[in-house]
Structure formats: C-alpha cells, structure tokens
C-alpha cells in the first residue's frame, strides 16, 4: 500500500518537473530567437558593406562606359557579353587566367609537399635542435619575397629562368606559415595514434600517406585554399620578372586592360569585367570548400 | 606465451627519475596489474616494455631475448591505450587490419580469418564497417582490443584502457577482460590508477610509488599484508586508519585505548617466523622518547561499534562521533579518540549521531604496525599463513 502511494507521489513530482522544465526550455528558446534576429541584422549589414563594391564592379562590367555617379547608374547595362568577350579574346585575358591558374596550382602543390615533409620532420623525428630549426623557419616570415626582389631577380636571370613558370613559382614554394599550421595540427593528433603505428610496424612513409594526410585532410584543404588565393593574387613579382605577354598572369593582365587609355577615356567597364573574371576562381574554391575551410580556421570548442 | 623480466630498470627524464631500479618478473600467461598514483612511473614502465621509451639503465628480457634496445615493432607486443588510439578515418575492419597489412607478414586470407575470429570473440562483427566516430566508447575500446588480439602478440600492454568509460561500462568491460584473458592466456601487463580495477583484474598486483615497486602480491595478500604504509593506505577504500601508538608489553598504547597485539607474522623475519606482541615491541623504536614508537593500522571495515559485534571480545574503547557518511550499504563514521581521528564502518541504519559517544571494538586478526620513520610494516596480527603465491612473490623468482 505504501509503495503505491509513494509511486503516485513520485509520478506527480516527475510530471510536474517535466512540465516546468519544458516551459523553461521554451522561454530560453524564444530568447534565443530574439537574439538571433539582432545578430542576423548585424550580419546583413556587414555582408552588404563587403559585397557592395563587388556589386558595383559587376554592374559596371555590363555597361558601355561604366561611370557610376548616381543611383540610377546602378541599373545593369546591356554590354555584358560584349565587354567580357573583348577582355577575354581581344585582350588575351583567357591566356592570363590560364597562366595564373597554372602558377597557383604549382605553388599550392609544391608548398603542400614541402610543408608536410617539413612538419613531419619537425614533429615526429628526433632532430637535434629542432625547435631552433623551426624557429629559423618562422624567421623567414620576416623576409618576404618583395624584400628579396633585387637579388632574386639577379638569381632568376642567372639561372636563365626569366619569363618562365619556374620564375614565378619556385621562389614561393617554401612557406613558413603552412609549416607552422601543419605543425600545430600534427601536434594535436594524439601521440597514442603514432605509437600504435610504431608498434604495428607501420613505416614513416606509410604513416604519413595513410594516416597523417587522411587525418589532416581538412587542414590541408583549408591551407591550400588560403595559399591558392595568395598565389592567385601575386602581382608585383610577375610584373617584374615576366615580360612576354604570353606568360603574363591575370593580376598584371588587369593593369594591361587599363593600359589602353585614349584621351583620358579609361574603359572602366573592361577593367571591371577583368576584375570580376579574376575574382571567380578563388570564389568558386571558397564556395566549394567552405566546410573544411571553416573547420580549419574556426576556433575549436573543446 | 612469454615471460617478461625486468632487471634494475631505470628511466630518467632530464633530472626526473621516473622509474628507479625496477626488478620484476611477469610470468608466462599472467595478468599482472601495475597500480599507483599518477606520476609513480607505472605508465613509463609500460612504455619501456613497449619500446616507446628507451631505458636509461637496466635490462628487459622477453623469454630469453634481450629486448632492451629493440625497436617497438620487433618486440611483438600489442598496446591498448586509454584513448583507444583508433585511426578516425578508417572503418573498424581497416583499423584492425592496418597494422597487419603494413608488415606484409600475413596473407590476405589469414588476415580475414583472424579478423573474423577476433570479431567473434569480442562481439564486434557489426562494428567492422563503421568508423570510430559512429561507435560508443565501449565499442571503440572493443575494436582497439580487436586490433591488439588479431596480431597474436607475445604480450598485451594496457595503459588504463577503461578510464574513459562510464562506471557501468567499466565494470562490464572489466569482466570481459578477465574472460578474454582466460580465453587467450596471453601475458598481460595492465596499468591503472584505480585500485578496484587492480584488485579485480590482477592475478598479481604491483603497487608502485615514486618510481619504485612497493609490493608485488596477489590482490588479497596485498590487502591483508601490506609491506608498508603506502600500500596499506593506497589499497582499500576508505583508506586504512593510521594512529600513532606506543608499544609496551605487547600492547599498543594510546591516550584513548590499549589494544593487545596477538601473535602475528613479521614481514621482516625472512624465515617466516611468528611474532607475538612482545617481540613486536622489540622491533618498535625503543629510543623514541616522546615520539610514537609505532603506527597502528586498522582498516575502517575492521572497526565496529561494540554493540554490533559482541563476538569480537572484551577489548573496547570509547570514541566521539564527529561525522557520519551514509554509503547505502554501510555507514562510514568519522570518530576521534584523544588526539587521533579514524573512520569506522557501521551498520547502514545505525543510530549514531555526531557528538555522541560510541564504544568501538575491532577485529584482533586485522591489526598492522608500521615503523614511524620508514613506514615499513613490521607486524601483522593475521595468523593465517601467507598463500604460496606470496612467498613466491617476495623472492620474485
């Protein structure tokens, strides 16, 4: 008899708890929604701020003259096909884009290979003074390519690489940033995984290819995209070292587009068409690989 | 099947001595548990066995092979880690076979057969095509065990494999490990900080502290005959009470009580001679002056309110109840007598109120005396002779 009474009482308590609990949950949910609205408003504002210049560029690239001075000028024109055709075909922008793509891919692949090897050596091998070596690698950040232009120019010409793909890729193959990011990532992989492989007799090459790289896929993709955009945006060095039009890259090609100024009449619509074109490959990559990119650079909650 | 022998094994990290002169024999097919507080060197010892650390000094032998400087992969040992160490991008099957594929020493059909066999043993057949992410902690640990057993290693090395599991699962896996060991009979060294795990799993238990072995014994012997204060206080929960006493005429004397010491066994007498209380007195420090001449150790579960156990004899003393902690199956009573405090196990529904007085009695067969300076045990009142395994253990083969 007492058992039954206690059961009823306990059940009542449980029901009461669940009802009260539910109501609490609902109210926090509502508060969350209100908070979200504010956040969304801010996000919209910021996104608009960032996107607006690009929007103008797209609009201008569809016009004949492309001068925007008032709001009605923001209505797209009808010269889109004409402008893009002229940039790609007449000004050889397609060729520049292809060169840029080649350069960027070579730089990214080369950087990844060298950086993975360097990071593996730094993290997993007993190298004497390896912290010092790593520090030295980081020191190269203080000496970016632009500072080395003059001797580098001399060196490339002495090697007879002038005007070639080698000239615009090799100087960028080593990357302290990538080594650093990969090192941090490798350090975050539990040592027990490395030790299991060691006990299983998995060799260093098999370990790197079959364990380390698959486990670092996200970071590698993220780093690749950043490096691709960086390589894609190279301007000064290709301008200096490449002098044949056939080997030139897109960013320099943009400059060439506005070279045709006649009587102070700069064809902004052409320049903007070129700009929009150069924007597309990095944008496509960002959209395609946004997930690994966010995973790599988001602050991880642990 | 392998016997592992450690001789004077030593490991230093910079200026820290992690393992300080270990001598130990792990018998063929034995389940040996190494237990100790964190930083006692137990994990380092295991890593030395695996070859993941290099010994500073000393020797490791597996059967007749000196493996002290052998590469991990050539030792033919399998290790199970606390965090399972599964490759997150591989399925259960791939995780198990990856190491076997790497060495080229197994044919494909052989691998398939062994995986099927191990999966059967561990009941993980349906986990083989899942990635670790889609497994629970217990399932992951099973797959990790599977990876260890398919290679049919000479020894299993387990580094706190159950610590990441919840309490219920841990107890279940504990039973499973025991069953697995009975089935495979592979020499196993198991490291844990959890004394319950050590007691339940180990055929013999090594208690380590400060880089040294404190005692090697079967679980019950460890509990009944601790060689020093550290082992006495580490094994058993709640910990053994330690009270400073003077030993006079075969009686442990304290302000609040006088406990006669029955004939017992000395740890010190290498020929296993029996010792009575008077002799214990001789071993206690006679020049102590005002200092205690011995430390009396009694486990809380060997102390009783006198009215609960009238059978235990006439020696009782009065103590003040300070705090009571109901544990469900018993009531833990914190008491004080004179300047000493101790804990006592009482019947779960005893009506003992803080501030009240309780008459305390004890099991006279469960008294221990320790030297105050060194902490070494020099007297146990237990009259039962030590089991054969224990004699064996002290000489350590």
Place of tokens 């030395």: B48
Is 0.95 exceeded by the ipTM? Answer: no
Q: How far away is chain A from the Cα of B27, in angstroms, using its nearest Cα?
A: 22
The DSSP bridge pattern shows strands B187-192 and B258-260 to be unpaired
Report, as an integer, the average pLDDT of B112-128: 91
Write down the pLDDT at residue A1: 46
Lowest mean pLDDT: which of A26-35, A287-296, B42-51, B363-372?
A: A26-35
Helices A93-124 + A176-188 axis angle, to 10? 50
Quick count: other Cβ atoms within 10 Å of Cβ B96?
Answer: 28
Count of domains forming chain A: 1
Query: Is A147's pLDDT higher than 90?
Result: no
CB of A167 closer than 8 Å to CB of A156: yes
Q: How far away is chain B from the Cα of A283, in angstroms, using its nearest Cα?
A: 29
A208 in any annotated domain: yes
For residue B65, the cross-strand partners are B62
Lowest mean pLDDT: which of A290-299, B136-145, B175-184?
A: A290-299
For residue B50, the cross-strand partners are none
CB contacts of A214 in chain B (<8 Å) are 87, 89
Q: Hey, where are the domains in chain B?
A: 4-224, 229-386
Reference B36, options B48, B49, B46; nearest CA is: B46
Report, as an integer, the average pLDDT of B238-255: 87
A28 in any annotated domain: no
For residue A187, the cross-strand partners are none
Q: For residues B179 and B197, what is the distance between their CA atoms, to the nearest angstrom? A: 15
Write down the pLDDT at residue B203: 94
Write down the pLDDT at residue A263: 56
Write down the pLDDT at residue B162: 92
CB contacts of A196 in chain B (<8 Å) are 79, 81, 85, 99, 147
Report, as an integer, the average pLDDT of B357-374: 89
Query: Is B33's pLDDT higher than 60?
Result: yes
Q: What percentage of residues in chain A have a pLDDT greater than 90?
A: 43
A32 in any annotated domain: no
A219 in any annotated domain: yes
Question: Any idea what DSSP says for residue A299?
Answer: P
B-chain residue closest to A207, CA distance:
B102
| For testing contact with chain A, the best of B50, B79, B153 (most A CBs within 10 A) | B79
pLDDT tens per residue, range A128-137: 998 999 999 9
Contact at CB, B83 and A190, closer than 8 angstroms = yes
Look at B282 and A177; give whichever has higher pLDDT.
Answer: A177
CB of A238 closer than 8 Å to CB of A251: yes
CB of A212 closer than 8 Å to CB of A120: yes
Contact at CB, A206 and B73, closer than 8 angstroms = no
Contact at CB, A193 and B87, closer than 8 angstroms = yes
Q: For residues B340 and B295, what is the distance between their CA atoms, to the nearest angstrom? A: 11
Which residues, in sequence order, are CB contacts of A195 under 8 Å at separation 6+?
B50, B52, B72, B79, B81, B85
SS3 B66: strand
Reference B86, options B94, B95, B98; nearest CA is: B95
Lowest mean pLDDT: which of A12-16, B138-142, B328-332, B387-391?
A: B387-391
Lowest mean pLDDT: which of B130-139, B198-207, B247-256?
A: B247-256
Lowest mean pLDDT: which of A56-70, A113-127, B82-96, B310-324?
A: A56-70
CATH of domain B229-386: 2.40.50.140
Write down the pLDDT at residue B246: 85
The CATH number for A122's domain is 1.10.3720.10
CB contacts of B77 in chain A (<8 Å) are 199
CB contacts of B88 in chain A (<8 Å) are 215
Contact at CB, A193 and B85, closer than 8 angstroms = yes
With cut-offs at 50, 70 and 90, classify the pLDDT of residue A260.
Answer: low
Contact at CB, B85 and A215, closer than 8 angstroms = no
Q: For residues A228 and A280, what is the distance between their CA atoms, to the nearest angstrom? A: 13
With cut-offs at 50, 70 and 90, classify the pLDDT of residue B148.
Answer: very high
Place of tokens 């064996």: B392
Contact at CB, A200 and B102, closer than 8 angstroms = yes
Write down the pLDDT at residue A73: 75
With cut-offs at 50, 70 and 90, classify the pLDDT of residue B387.
Answer: very low
Write down the pLDDT at residue B384: 46
Whether cis (ω within 30° of 0) applies to the bond prior to B238 is: yes
SS3 B267: coil
Write down the pLDDT at residue B104: 73
Query: Is B155's pLDDT higher than 90?
Result: yes
Residue-by-residue DSSP string for B159-179 = ESTTTTS-HHHHHHHHHHHHH
Write down the pLDDT at residue B393: 38
Q: For residues A68 and A50, what is the distance between their CA atoms, to the nearest angstrom? A: 18
Query: Is B51's pLDDT higher than 70?
Result: yes
And the tokens for B154?
A: 């000479």
B-chain residue closest to A204, CA distance:
B102
The DSSP bridge pattern shows strands B57-62 and B155-159 to be unpaired
Query: Is A40's pLDDT higher than 50?
Result: yes
pLDDT tens per residue, range A204-230: 999 999 999 999 988 899 899 989 999
Q: How many beta-carbon pairs below 8 A join chains A and B?
A: 60
Q: How far away is chain B from the Cα of A219, in angstroms, using its nearest Cα?
A: 14
Place of tokens 């018998």: B27
Say if residue B174 is exposed, middle or buried (CB neighbours under 10 Å; 0-12, 13-18, 19+): middle
With cut-offs at 50, 70 and 90, classify the pLDDT of residue B271.
Answer: very low
Query: Is A103's pLDDT higher than 50?
Result: yes
CB contacts of B51 in chain A (<8 Å) are 199
Query: Is A148's pLDDT higher than 60?
Result: yes
pLDDT tens per residue, range B317-349: 999 999 999 999 999 999 999 889 999 999 888
Which residues, in sequence order, are CB contacts of B116 under 8 Å at separation 6+?
B125
Q: For residues B16 and B11, what is the distance between their CA atoms, to the nearest angstrom? A: 9
And the tokens for A184?
A: 């941090």
Write down the pLDDT at residue B315: 82
- Domain boundaries, position A122: 109-248+284-300
CB contacts of B94 in chain A (<8 Å) are none
Question: pTM for the whole thing?
Answer: 0.78
And the tokens for B186?
A: 């592979």
And the tokens for B389?
A: 């395994």
Write down the pLDDT at residue A134: 92
Query: Is A70's pLDDT higher than 50?
Result: yes
Q: Tell me what the pLDDT averaged over chain B comes to.
A: 86
Q: How far away is chain A from the Cα of B140, in angstroms, using its nearest Cα?
A: 14
Contact at CB, B102 and A217, closer than 8 angstroms = no
Report, as an integer, the average pLDDT of A257-269: 69
| For testing contact with chain A, the best of B71, B73, B132 (most A CBs within 10 A) | B73
Reference B24, options B49, B43, B55, B56; nearest CA is: B49
With cut-offs at 50, 70 and 90, classify the pLDDT of residue B68.
Answer: very high
CB contacts of B89 in chain A (<8 Å) are 214-215, 217
CB contacts of A201 in chain B (<8 Å) are 73-74, 99, 102-103
| CATH 2.60.40.1120 matches B4-224 | no
With cut-offs at 50, 70 and 90, classify the pLDDT of residue A5.
Answer: low
Look at A51 and B264; give whichever has higher pLDDT.
Answer: A51
With cut-offs at 50, 70 and 90, classify the pLDDT of residue B386.
Answer: very low
Query: What radius of gyration do chain B's Cα atoms show?
Result: 24
């Amino acid at each position: 008899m007492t058992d039954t009474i206690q059961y009823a009482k306990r059940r009542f308590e449980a029901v009461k708890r669940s009802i009260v609990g539910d109501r609490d949950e609902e109210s926090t949910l509502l508060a969350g929604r209100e908070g979200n609205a504010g956040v969304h408003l801010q996000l919209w504002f910021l996104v608009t701020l960032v996107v607006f210049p690009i929007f103008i560029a797209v609009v201008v690239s569809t016009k004949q003259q492309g001068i925007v001075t008032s709001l009605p000028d923001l209505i797209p024109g009808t010269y889109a096909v004409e402008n893009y055709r002229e940039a790609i075909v007449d000004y050889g922008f397609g060729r520049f884009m292809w060169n840029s793509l080649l350069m960027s891919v070579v730089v990214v692949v080369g950087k990844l290979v060298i950086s993975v090897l360097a990071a593996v050596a730094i993290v997993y091998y007993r190298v004497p003074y390896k912290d010092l070596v790593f520090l030295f690698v980081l020191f190269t950040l203080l000496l970016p390519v632009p500072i080395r232009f003059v001797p580098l120019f001399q060196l490339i010409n002495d090697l007879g690489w002038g005007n070639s793909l080698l000239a615009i890729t090799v100087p960028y193959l080593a990357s302290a940033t990538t080594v650093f990011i990969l090192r941090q990532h490798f350090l975050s992989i539990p040592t027990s995984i490395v030790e299991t492989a060691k006990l299983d007799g998995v060799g260093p090459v098999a370990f790197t290819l079959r364990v380390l790289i698959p486990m670092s896929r996200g970071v590698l993709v993220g780093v690749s995209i950043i490096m691709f955009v960086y390589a894609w945006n190279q301007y000064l060095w290709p301008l200096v070292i490449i002098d044949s039009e056939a080997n030139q890259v897109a960013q320099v090609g943009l400059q060439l587009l506005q070279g045709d100024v006649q009587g102070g009449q700069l064809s902004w619509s052409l320049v903007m068409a070129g700009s929009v074109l150069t924007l597309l490959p990095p944008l496509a990559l960002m959209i395609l690989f946004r997930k690994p990119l966010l995973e790599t650079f988001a602050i991880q909650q642990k | 099947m392998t016997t592992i022998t450690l001789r004077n094994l030593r490991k230093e990290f910079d200026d820290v001595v992690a393992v300080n002169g270990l001598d130990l024999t792990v018998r063929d097919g034995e389940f040996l548990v190494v237990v100790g507080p964190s930083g006692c060197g137990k994990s380092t010892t295991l890593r030395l066995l695996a070859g993941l650390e290099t010994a500073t000094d000393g020797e490791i032998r597996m059967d007749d092979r000196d493996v002290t400087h052998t590469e991990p992969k050539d030792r033919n040992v399998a290790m199970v880690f606390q965090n399972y160490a599964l490759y997150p991008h591989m399925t259960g099957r791939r995780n198990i076979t990856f190491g076997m594929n790497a060495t080229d020493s197994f044919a494909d059909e052989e691998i398939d057969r062994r995986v099927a066999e191990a999966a059967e043993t561990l009941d993980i057949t349906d986990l083989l095509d899942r990635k670790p992410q889609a497994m629970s902690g217990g399932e992951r640990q099973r797959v990790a065990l599977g990876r260890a057993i398919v290679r049919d290693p000479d020894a299993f090395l387990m580094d706190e494999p159950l610590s990441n599991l919840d309490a219920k699962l841990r107890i279940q896996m504990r039973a499973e490990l025991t069953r697995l060991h009975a089935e495979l009979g592979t020499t196993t060294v198991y490291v844990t900080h959890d004394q319950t795990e050590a007691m339940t799993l180990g055929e013999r238990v090594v208690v380590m502290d400060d880089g040294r072995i404190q005692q090697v014994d079967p679980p019950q012997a460890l509990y009944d005959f601790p060689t020093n204060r550290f082992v006495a206080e580490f094994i058993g929960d709640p910990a053994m009470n330690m009270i400073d006493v003077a030993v006079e005429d075969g009686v442990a004397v304290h302000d609040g009580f006088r406990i006669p010491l029955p004939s017992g066994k000395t740890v010190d007498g290498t020929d296993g001679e029996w010792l009575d209380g008077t002799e214990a007195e001789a071993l206690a420090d006679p020049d102590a002056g005002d200092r205690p001449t011995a430390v009396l150790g009694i486990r809380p579960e060997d102390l009783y309110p006198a009215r609960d156990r009238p059978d235990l004899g006439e020696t009782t003393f009065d103590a003040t109840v300070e705090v009571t902690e109901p544990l469900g199956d018993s009531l833990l009573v914190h008491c004080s007598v004179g300047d000493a405090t101790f804990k006592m196990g009482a019947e779960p529904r005893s009506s003992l109120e803080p501030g009240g007085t309780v008459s305390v009695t004890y099991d006279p067969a469960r008294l221990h005396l320790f030297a105050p300076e060194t902490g070494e045990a020099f007297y146990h009142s237990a009259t039962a002779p030590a089991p054969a395994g224990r004699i064996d253990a002290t000489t350590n083969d």
